[in-house]
C-alpha cells in the first residue's frame, strides 16, 4: 500500500479558498459555524512598503505520532492501517483534549447545533449524526475510490499535491527528499505527513 502524503506549495496559492468550499461540500462540515477542516490563512507581515501577505493552506497533518491520538481517552482518535488519523464518531466523548493537544489547529467540535443544522441542510444525506470532535479524514472515502482528496482535486493552483511518499519517483516524494518541501513544527516530533514548500 502506498504511503500517501501531501505537499502544499505556498508559492502558488492565491487564497481562493476552493479547498475549503470543496471540503465543506464533500464532507458536510459546518460552514454555518465557520468551522472548516481546511482553510487558507491570510497572514500579513511587515511594514509598508515591505509588507508580506502570506496565504497558507491549513489541514490536518496526519502525524506519524499524533498528539491528538495520545491524549484521546476513548481511543476514538486512531490511525488506520494506512497511517491516516481518523475519529470513530461512535466513541468520541467530546472532551476536546485532542483540540488542546493538536499543534496545527486541525480539530473542532461538531456540536449539537451543528448536527441539527446539518440535518436541516443535507436532509437524509447528512453524514454527521453524532456530536464529535471533527477532523480531516484525507477523504478516505474518495481515496478508496481512486480519487484525490476533494481539496487537492479542485485546487486551481495545484498548491496541493498528493502522492506516494514511499515511491521515489512520485512528485511529492521528490519534493520531500530534495528538501524543497518541509513539515511544520518538526521540533514537536509529531512527524507530519503534510509537507510545505515555502
Partner 1 sequence: MSSQKQRSVAAKQTTSSRDVEWVPSICNFCSTVCNVRVGVKTVNGKKTAVKIEGNPNSPLNRGKTCARGQAGLRQTYDAARLTTPLIRVEGSKRGEWNFRPASWEEAYGFVMQKLQEHQVQPWEMSMVGGWTSCVFYMPLALSFVFSTGIPNIVASPMQHCVAAGHLGTDMVTGNFNIHDEVLADFENSKYIIFSMTNSGVGAASTSRLVRFAEAKKRGAKVIVLDPRLSEMASKADEWLAIKPGTDSAFFLAMIHVMLRKGLYDKDFVTKHTNMPFLAIENQGMVVPMMESNEQGYPTAFWVLDQISGEVRKLPGYSNKNTVDVEGKNLLPALEVPQGFEMNGQKPKTIFQYMLDQTAKFTPAWAEQETGIAAATIERIAVEFGQTRPAMVDPGWHGARYENILNTRRLQAILQALVGGLDVPGGWLMSGEYREKLMHFMQAMQKGEETKVLNLPGMHFPLAAAGKFFDPGQWPHGRPSFAMAHSMAEKAAGRPGVIFPAFSDFGLEEAVEGKLMFNGEPYRIKALLMNAANPVRHFYPDSRWKKILTHPNMGVVVAIDIVPSDTAAYADVILPNQNYIERDEPFIYGAGPSPDLAITTRFSAVEPNPNTKGTADILFEFAMGFGALDKYMETIASISSYDLDDIKEEVGKAAKGQQTFTKAIRNVSFKYHAKNLGMTPEQLEKTLREKGVLVIEPVEKLLEHAAIARDLPVPTPSGRIEIYSLMLASFVMQQGYRVNWDPGLVYFPPRLNQEKRPNEFNFIYGKTPTVSYASTNSNNPILMALSKNKADEFMGLWIHPKKAAALDIKTGDEVTMENAQSGQKVQIKAFVTDMVRPDTVFMSSSFGTENPLLENSVGVGTALNKIIPYEVEPIVSAFRSQEFTVRVTK
Partner 2 sequence: MAKPMHLERQEAYEWPVAVYLFLGGFGGALITLAFVLHFFQASAAMTGPAVLSGLVLFALAGAALVFFDLERPVNAIYSLNNAKTSGISWDVILIALNFVFGILFVLPEYGSIEVLHGIAGVLAPYQALFGAIAAIAGLLFPIISGGLLAAPASIPLWHTPALPLLFLITSFALGLAYLGSLFSLSGTVYASFTGGILALSLLTSGISLAYLEHTHNGPVEAKEGAHRMLKTPRFILVYFIIGLAFPLVLSAYLLFTGTVLFWAMPALAVSLFLGGFAVRNCVILNGIQTYPWPY
Residue 36 and residue 23 in contact, taking contact as beta carbons nearer than 8 Å:
yes
The partner in contact with residue 73, picked from partner 2, partner 1, none with C-beta cut-offs of 5 to 8 angstroms by kind, is: partner 2
- Residue identified by cell 466523548 is 93
CA distance 26 to 123: 15
The stretch among 13-21, 91-99, 121-129, 169-177 that binds partner 2 (CB under 8 A) is 91-99
Q: Which of 11, 34, 52, 179 binds partner 2 (CB under 8 A)?
A: 52
User: Could you tell me how far CA 162 lies from the centroid of its own chain?
Assistant: 12
Least Cβ distance, residue 103 to partner 1 (angstroms):
21
Residue 69 and residue 79 in contact, taking contact as beta carbons nearer than 8 Å:
yes
Residue 159 and residue 2 in contact, taking contact as beta carbons nearer than 8 Å:
no
How many amino acids of this chain bind partner 2 (CB under 8 A)? 47
Q: Between residues 78 and 164, which has the closer beta carbon with respect to partner 1?
A: 78
The stretch among 17-25, 101-109, 144-152, 158-166 that binds partner 2 (CB under 8 A) is 101-109
Residue 33 grid coordinates: 459555524
Residue 80 and residue 36 in contact, taking contact as beta carbons nearer than 8 Å:
no
Q: Between residues 35 and 142, which has the closer beta carbon with respect to partner 2?
A: 35
Where do contacts with partner 2 occur on this chain (CB under 8 A)? 41, 43-47, 51-52, 54, 56, 58, 67, 70-76, 91-105, 109, 111-112, 130-133, 184-185, 188-189, 196, 198
Amino acid at each position: 500500500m502506498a504511503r500517501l502524503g501531501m505537499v502544499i506549495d505556498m508559492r502558488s496559492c492565491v487564497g481562493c479558498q476552493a479547498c475549503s468550499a470543496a471540503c465543506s461540500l464533500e464532507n458536510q462540515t459546518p460552514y454555518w459555524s465557520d468551522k472548516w477542516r481546511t482553510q487558507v490563512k491570510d497572514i500579513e507581515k511587515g511594514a509598508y512598503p515591505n509588507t508580506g501577505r502570506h496565504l497558507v493552506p491549513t489541514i490536518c497533518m496526519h502525524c506519524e505520532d499524533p498528539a491528538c491520538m495520545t491524549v484521546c481517552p476513548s481511543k476514538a482518535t486512531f490511525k488506520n492501517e494506512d497511517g491516516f488519523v481518523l475519529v470513530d464518531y461512535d466513541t468520541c466523548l467530546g472532551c476536546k483534549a485532542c483540540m488542546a493537544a493538536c499543534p496545527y489547529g486541525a480539530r473542532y467540535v461538531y456540536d449539537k447545533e451543528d448536527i441539527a443544522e446539518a440535518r436541516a441542510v443535507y436532509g437524509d444525506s447528512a453524514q454527521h449524526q453524532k456530536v464529535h470532535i471533527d477532523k480531516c479524514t484525507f477523504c478516505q472515502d474518495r481515496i478508496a475510490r481512486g480519487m484525490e482528496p476533494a481539496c487537492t482535486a479542485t485546487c486551481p493552483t495545484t498548491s496541493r499535491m498528493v502522492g506516494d511518499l514511499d515511491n521515489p519517483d512520485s512528485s511529492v516524494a521528490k519534493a520531500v527528499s530534495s528538501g524543497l518541501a518541509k513539515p511544520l513544527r518538526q521540533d514537536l516530533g509529531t512527524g507530519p505527513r503534510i509537507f510545505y514548500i515555502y
